[in-house]
Structure 1
Amino acid sequence: RMPVELKPLVDALNDLLHRLNLASQSQRTFVGDAAHELRSPLAALKLQLQGAERDGSLVGNKQTFERIEGRLNRLIHLVQQLLTMAREDAQRSAHFEPVSLRRLCERAVGDFSTLAEARQIDLGLEFNPSRDADDAYKVSAEPAGIE
Protein backbone atom coordinates (compact mmCIF):
# COMPACT_ATOMS: atom_id res chain seq x y z
CA ARG A 1 0.00 0.00 0.00
CA MET A 2 1.10 3.50 -0.80
CA PRO A 3 1.47 6.12 1.94
CA VAL A 4 -1.39 8.64 1.90
CA GLU A 5 1.09 11.51 1.46
CA LEU A 6 2.39 10.10 -1.85
CA LYS A 7 -0.97 9.29 -3.43
CA PRO A 8 -1.60 12.86 -4.74
CA LEU A 9 1.91 12.94 -6.24
CA VAL A 10 1.55 9.55 -7.91
CA ASP A 11 -1.93 10.44 -9.20
CA ALA A 12 -0.65 13.77 -10.55
CA LEU A 13 2.29 12.05 -12.28
CA ASN A 14 0.02 9.44 -13.83
CA ASP A 15 -2.36 12.17 -15.02
CA LEU A 16 0.52 14.21 -16.47
CA LEU A 17 1.94 11.21 -18.30
CA HIS A 18 -1.50 10.35 -19.68
CA ARG A 19 -2.00 13.93 -20.95
CA LEU A 20 1.49 13.94 -22.49
CA ASN A 21 0.69 10.71 -24.28
CA LEU A 22 -2.56 12.18 -25.66
CA ALA A 23 -0.76 15.35 -26.79
CA SER A 24 1.96 13.30 -28.46
CA GLN A 25 -0.63 11.19 -30.28
CA SER A 26 -2.43 14.35 -31.46
CA GLN A 27 0.83 15.81 -32.74
CA ARG A 28 1.70 12.62 -34.64
CA THR A 29 -1.77 12.55 -36.18
CA PHE A 30 -1.52 16.20 -37.22
CA VAL A 31 1.91 15.76 -38.82
CA GLY A 32 0.75 12.69 -40.72
CA ASP A 33 -2.48 14.34 -41.88
CA ALA A 34 -0.74 17.57 -42.91
CA ALA A 35 1.94 15.72 -44.87
CA HIS A 36 -0.67 13.57 -46.59
CA GLU A 37 -2.77 16.63 -47.52
CA LEU A 38 0.28 18.43 -48.95
CA ARG A 39 1.55 15.51 -51.01
CA SER A 40 -1.16 15.52 -53.70
CA PRO A 41 -1.18 19.28 -54.44
CA LEU A 42 2.62 19.31 -54.64
CA ALA A 43 2.63 16.38 -57.07
CA ALA A 44 -0.02 18.15 -59.18
CA LEU A 45 2.00 21.37 -59.15
CA LYS A 46 5.10 19.49 -60.29
CA LEU A 47 3.15 17.87 -63.16
CA GLN A 48 1.79 21.27 -64.24
CA LEU A 49 5.27 22.78 -64.15
CA GLN A 50 6.70 19.94 -66.24
CA GLY A 51 3.77 20.17 -68.69
CA ALA A 52 4.25 23.92 -69.07
CA GLU A 53 7.94 23.38 -69.80
CA ARG A 54 7.18 20.70 -72.41
CA ASP A 55 4.52 22.66 -74.29
CA GLY A 56 6.48 25.92 -74.18
CA SER A 57 3.87 27.88 -72.25
CA LEU A 58 6.29 28.57 -69.40
CA VAL A 59 7.39 32.20 -69.58
CA GLY A 60 10.84 32.92 -68.23
CA ASN A 61 14.35 31.68 -68.60
CA LYS A 62 15.66 28.18 -67.99
CA GLN A 63 17.36 29.18 -64.71
CA THR A 64 14.05 30.38 -63.24
CA PHE A 65 12.39 27.08 -64.15
CA GLU A 66 15.25 25.06 -62.65
CA ARG A 67 15.16 27.11 -59.44
CA ILE A 68 11.38 26.63 -59.08
CA GLU A 69 11.67 22.92 -59.84
CA GLY A 70 14.52 22.52 -57.34
CA ARG A 71 12.55 24.20 -54.56
CA LEU A 72 9.48 22.16 -55.41
CA ASN A 73 11.52 18.93 -55.29
CA ARG A 74 12.93 19.90 -51.87
CA LEU A 75 9.41 20.59 -50.61
CA ILE A 76 8.16 17.23 -51.93
CA HIS A 77 11.13 15.53 -50.23
CA LEU A 78 10.34 17.29 -46.93
CA VAL A 79 6.69 16.19 -47.08
CA GLN A 80 7.82 12.62 -47.80
CA GLN A 81 10.12 12.75 -44.76
CA LEU A 82 7.21 13.98 -42.60
CA LEU A 83 5.05 11.09 -43.81
CA THR A 84 7.83 8.60 -43.09
CA MET A 85 8.36 10.07 -39.62
CA ALA A 86 4.63 9.95 -38.85
CA ARG A 87 4.45 6.29 -39.90
CA GLU A 88 7.49 5.37 -37.80
CA ASP A 89 6.11 7.23 -34.78
CA ALA A 90 2.78 5.46 -35.13
CA GLN A 91 4.55 2.09 -35.08
CA ARG A 92 6.67 3.09 -32.11
CA SER A 93 3.90 4.57 -29.96
CA ALA A 94 4.47 4.73 -26.24
CA HIS A 95 3.89 1.57 -24.25
CA PHE A 96 3.13 2.39 -20.63
CA GLU A 97 3.86 -0.03 -17.85
CA PRO A 98 4.36 0.17 -14.09
CA VAL A 99 7.65 1.87 -13.18
CA SER A 100 9.00 1.89 -9.63
CA LEU A 101 9.59 5.41 -8.29
CA ARG A 102 11.58 3.85 -5.47
CA ARG A 103 14.08 2.25 -7.87
CA LEU A 104 14.18 5.38 -10.02
CA CYS A 105 14.98 7.55 -6.99
CA GLU A 106 17.55 5.05 -5.67
CA ARG A 107 19.30 5.12 -9.04
CA ALA A 108 19.24 8.95 -9.14
CA VAL A 109 20.69 9.19 -5.63
CA GLY A 110 23.37 6.66 -6.58
CA ASP A 111 24.23 8.59 -9.74
CA PHE A 112 24.64 11.88 -7.88
CA SER A 113 26.11 10.64 -4.59
CA THR A 114 29.74 11.23 -5.60
CA LEU A 115 28.97 14.76 -6.77
CA ALA A 116 26.98 15.44 -3.59
CA GLU A 117 29.84 14.20 -1.39
CA ALA A 118 32.33 16.39 -3.25
CA ARG A 119 30.13 19.40 -2.50
CA GLN A 120 29.49 18.24 1.07
CA ILE A 121 25.78 17.74 0.47
CA ASP A 122 23.98 15.08 2.47
CA LEU A 123 22.00 13.30 -0.22
CA GLY A 124 19.76 10.55 1.00
CA LEU A 125 16.51 8.79 0.36
CA GLU A 126 13.96 7.57 2.87
CA PHE A 127 11.03 5.31 2.08
CA ASN A 128 8.68 3.61 4.48
CA PRO A 129 8.99 -0.14 4.06
CA SER A 130 6.37 -1.70 1.80
CA ARG A 131 3.74 -3.69 3.62
CA ASP A 132 3.59 -6.23 0.85
CA ALA A 133 6.01 -7.79 -1.59
CA ASP A 134 4.83 -5.49 -4.37
CA ASP A 135 6.50 -2.09 -4.60
CA ALA A 136 3.84 0.47 -3.60
CA TYR A 137 5.67 3.39 -5.21
CA LYS A 138 4.79 2.83 -8.86
CA VAL A 139 3.53 5.04 -11.66
CA SER A 140 2.39 4.14 -15.14
CA ALA A 141 4.98 5.35 -17.66
CA GLU A 142 7.14 4.48 -20.63
CA PRO A 143 10.23 3.08 -18.85
CA ALA A 144 12.82 4.60 -21.20
CA GLY A 145 11.04 7.95 -21.21
CA ILE A 146 10.92 8.46 -17.45
CA GLU A 147 14.51 7.52 -16.68
Structure 2
Amino acid sequence: MDKSVLVQYSAMKEEIKDIRRRIEKDRRELERLNKLIVVDSVTCGKKGKKPLRTVKVHGRPETAISRKEAALSMHLLQLEQRETELVELTVQAEEYINSIEKSELRIMFRLYYLDGLTWNQVAHRMNQAFPKRKYTEDGCRMRNNRFFEKNL
Protein backbone atom coordinates (compact mmCIF):
# COMPACT_ATOMS: atom_id res chain seq x y z
CA MET A 1 0.00 0.00 0.00
CA ASP A 2 1.08 3.55 -0.57
CA LYS A 3 -0.10 7.15 -0.52
CA SER A 4 -2.56 6.55 -3.38
CA VAL A 5 -4.93 4.80 -0.94
CA LEU A 6 -5.04 7.94 1.22
CA VAL A 7 -5.52 10.21 -1.79
CA GLN A 8 -8.25 7.94 -3.19
CA TYR A 9 -9.99 7.94 0.20
CA SER A 10 -10.07 11.75 0.27
CA ALA A 11 -11.32 11.92 -3.32
CA MET A 12 -14.06 9.37 -2.60
CA LYS A 13 -15.29 11.41 0.37
CA GLU A 14 -15.57 14.48 -1.88
CA GLU A 15 -17.39 12.47 -4.54
CA ILE A 16 -19.92 11.27 -1.97
CA LYS A 17 -20.48 14.87 -0.83
CA ASP A 18 -21.12 15.83 -4.45
CA ILE A 19 -23.60 12.97 -4.97
CA ARG A 20 -25.45 13.94 -1.77
CA ARG A 21 -25.64 17.53 -3.02
CA ARG A 22 -27.10 16.31 -6.31
CA ILE A 23 -29.64 14.13 -4.50
CA GLU A 24 -30.78 17.08 -2.42
CA LYS A 25 -31.05 19.22 -5.56
CA ASP A 26 -33.11 16.49 -7.29
CA ARG A 27 -35.43 16.20 -4.28
CA ARG A 28 -36.02 19.96 -4.18
CA GLU A 29 -36.69 20.04 -7.92
CA LEU A 30 -39.04 17.04 -7.67
CA GLU A 31 -40.93 18.71 -4.84
CA ARG A 32 -41.25 21.87 -6.93
CA LEU A 33 -42.45 19.91 -9.98
CA ASN A 34 -45.05 18.01 -7.93
CA LYS A 35 -46.55 21.30 -6.77
CA LEU A 36 -46.49 22.73 -10.29
CA ILE A 37 -49.66 22.85 -12.38
CA VAL A 38 -49.21 23.51 -16.08
CA VAL A 39 -51.91 25.48 -17.95
CA ASP A 40 -52.20 25.72 -21.72
CA SER A 41 -54.77 26.95 -24.24
CA VAL A 42 -55.90 24.51 -26.91
CA THR A 43 -58.08 25.17 -29.94
CA CYS A 44 -60.97 22.82 -30.58
CA GLY A 45 -61.31 22.44 -34.32
CA LYS A 46 -61.35 25.12 -36.97
CA LYS A 47 -63.90 26.62 -39.26
CA GLY A 48 -61.81 28.00 -42.04
CA LYS A 49 -58.93 29.84 -40.41
CA LYS A 50 -60.78 30.66 -37.19
CA PRO A 51 -60.91 28.26 -34.23
CA LEU A 52 -64.31 27.05 -33.11
CA ARG A 53 -63.36 27.62 -29.50
CA THR A 54 -60.38 27.49 -27.15
CA VAL A 55 -60.14 25.47 -23.97
CA LYS A 56 -57.72 25.77 -21.06
CA VAL A 57 -56.04 22.50 -20.17
CA HIS A 58 -54.62 21.93 -16.66
CA GLY A 59 -52.16 19.22 -15.69
CA ARG A 60 -48.89 18.20 -14.14
CA PRO A 61 -45.59 17.95 -16.05
CA GLU A 62 -45.49 14.13 -15.90
CA THR A 63 -42.53 13.66 -18.24
CA ALA A 64 -40.37 16.12 -16.29
CA ILE A 65 -41.40 14.47 -13.02
CA SER A 66 -40.60 10.97 -14.29
CA ARG A 67 -37.20 12.12 -15.63
CA LYS A 68 -36.34 13.75 -12.31
CA GLU A 69 -37.46 10.62 -10.39
CA ALA A 70 -35.23 8.48 -12.62
CA ALA A 71 -32.28 10.82 -12.01
CA LEU A 72 -32.93 10.74 -8.27
CA SER A 73 -33.06 6.93 -8.15
CA MET A 74 -29.83 6.75 -10.20
CA HIS A 75 -28.08 9.14 -7.79
CA LEU A 76 -29.34 7.15 -4.79
CA LEU A 77 -27.94 3.96 -6.32
CA GLN A 78 -24.61 5.71 -7.02
CA LEU A 79 -24.47 6.93 -3.44
CA GLU A 80 -25.04 3.44 -2.08
CA GLN A 81 -22.26 2.02 -4.30
CA ARG A 82 -19.80 4.79 -3.41
CA GLU A 83 -20.49 4.43 0.31
CA THR A 84 -19.73 0.72 0.06
CA GLU A 85 -16.47 1.51 -1.74
CA LEU A 86 -15.68 4.16 0.88
CA VAL A 87 -16.00 1.61 3.69
CA GLU A 88 -13.50 -0.64 1.91
CA LEU A 89 -11.14 2.28 1.30
CA THR A 90 -11.47 3.37 4.93
CA VAL A 91 -10.29 -0.05 6.07
CA GLN A 92 -7.36 0.07 3.64
CA ALA A 93 -6.41 3.61 4.67
CA GLU A 94 -6.58 2.76 8.38
CA GLU A 95 -4.46 -0.35 7.81
CA TYR A 96 -1.88 1.74 5.97
CA ILE A 97 -1.81 4.41 8.68
CA ASN A 98 -1.57 1.76 11.41
CA SER A 99 1.44 0.24 9.62
CA ILE A 100 3.42 3.48 10.21
CA GLU A 101 5.92 3.01 13.02
CA LYS A 102 5.81 6.47 14.64
CA SER A 103 2.74 7.22 16.71
CA GLU A 104 3.05 10.95 16.08
CA LEU A 105 2.88 10.46 12.31
CA ARG A 106 -0.08 8.11 12.65
CA ILE A 107 -1.99 10.78 14.57
CA MET A 108 -1.11 13.46 11.99
CA PHE A 109 -2.12 11.22 9.09
CA ARG A 110 -5.43 10.29 10.72
CA LEU A 111 -6.24 13.96 11.29
CA TYR A 112 -5.28 15.01 7.76
CA TYR A 113 -6.34 12.08 5.58
CA LEU A 114 -9.19 10.44 7.50
CA ASP A 115 -10.71 13.42 9.31
CA GLY A 116 -10.11 15.80 6.40
CA LEU A 117 -8.53 18.59 8.45
CA THR A 118 -6.19 21.16 6.90
CA TRP A 119 -2.51 21.15 7.83
CA ASN A 120 -3.13 24.25 9.96
CA GLN A 121 -5.89 22.46 11.89
CA VAL A 122 -3.65 19.39 12.23
CA ALA A 123 -0.92 21.58 13.73
CA HIS A 124 -3.37 23.05 16.26
CA ARG A 125 -4.62 19.61 17.28
CA MET A 126 -1.10 18.29 17.59
CA ASN A 127 -0.18 21.29 19.78
CA GLN A 128 -3.15 20.46 22.01
CA ALA A 129 -2.20 16.79 22.19
CA PHE A 130 1.51 17.47 22.76
CA PRO A 131 1.78 20.85 24.53
CA LYS A 132 5.54 20.52 25.12
CA ARG A 133 6.26 20.39 21.38
CA LYS A 134 5.64 23.11 18.81
CA TYR A 135 3.86 22.06 15.61
CA THR A 136 3.33 24.36 12.65
CA GLU A 137 1.38 23.97 9.45
CA ASP A 138 4.57 23.84 7.37
CA GLY A 139 6.23 21.46 9.81
CA CYS A 140 3.38 18.97 9.61
CA ARG A 141 3.25 19.18 5.83
CA MET A 142 7.02 18.70 5.56
CA ARG A 143 6.94 15.66 7.86
CA ASN A 144 4.26 14.22 5.59
CA ASN A 145 6.36 14.92 2.46
CA ARG A 146 9.54 13.51 4.02
CA PHE A 147 7.73 10.36 5.10
CA PHE A 148 6.51 9.67 1.57
CA GLU A 149 9.85 10.58 -0.05
CA LYS A 150 11.57 8.15 2.31
CA ASN A 151 9.01 5.34 1.91
CA LEU A 152 8.34 5.43 -1.84
What's the TM-score, normalizing by structure 1? Answer: 0.42
Bigger RCO of structures 1 and 2 (CA < 8 A, at least 6 apart) = 1
Structure in which a larger fraction of residues adopt strand: 2
What's the TM-score, normalizing by structure 2? Answer: 0.40
